[in-house]
A and B are shown apart, each in its own frame.
Chain A
């Protein structure tokens, strides 16, 4: 059974770069599926950040595209998220996800990690 686990600093200073990693177990990300990141500000709704396919294709939310990069390390079976020039509005729980068949919905979720942007 595939499992996802986010990790990274819980506190980032304004204007710096937020970096998170998602470790995948139970499935090789190089085999197939789309994988990605979603975030949720405290007490608010869900926002898709971006996704990538195992062949390297990536899609980003236009509202974040300028500041976001998703990268993959197949040797470690993990993928990463970087968000540059963060502000308080980037404070959120960040989830890594695996999309379901057809890449239309989010089938598997990590437990999420809270990142707070504050000086």
Chain B
């Protein structure tokens, strides 16, 4: 089970966002990914292997963590960064699970 917090994060452009994803048991960092989803769009892969940025993802997005606690950090928020963010885990049953999402909204 993946638990994301907070459910909603209200920040202003230019601020730093820190999103959390906690696994119910220790997992390999290789198995953790992050996605961004904007309204009426499919999710977009941001981070894989807990800390590797996907192709074309700006450097202001970074991932970290190990064991049960993982973090997605967005430094200096841009207007286009306000969206819903999901973490995703590979392994166990079912083979792929998603967190419930964190909505990043403009304050």
A residues whose Cβ falls under 8 Å from a Cβ of B: 45-48, 51, 59, 61-63, 95, 100, 102-107, 109-112
Contacts and interface: CB of A to CB of B under 8 A. Distances in A.
Contacts of B90: 103-105
Interface of B: 30-31, 33, 35, 41-45, 48-49, 54, 86, 88, 90, 93-101
A18 B42 CA distance: 20
11 contacts: A45-B101, A46-B43, A46-B88, A48-B98, A51-B95, A59-B95, A63-B94, A95-B42, A105-B90, A107-B45, A109-B44
B88 A105 contact: yes
B94 A62 contact: yes
Given A45-B99, A48-B94, A110-B42, 5 more contacts: A45-B98, A46-B88, A48-B98, A104-B33, A106-B88
Given A95-B42, A111-B42, A105 B98 contact: no
B94 A104 contact: no
Contacts of B93: 62
A69 B54 CA distance: 30
B48 A46 contact: no
Contacts, number: 55
A102 B29 CA distance: 13
Interface of B is mostly: mixed
Nearest to B93: A62
B101 A48 contact: no
Given A104-B33, A105-B33, A48 B96 contact: yes
B45 A46 contact: no
Contacts of A61: 94-95
Contacts of A100: 45, 48
Contact of B95 (A46, A48, A107, A112): A48
Nearest to B43: A109
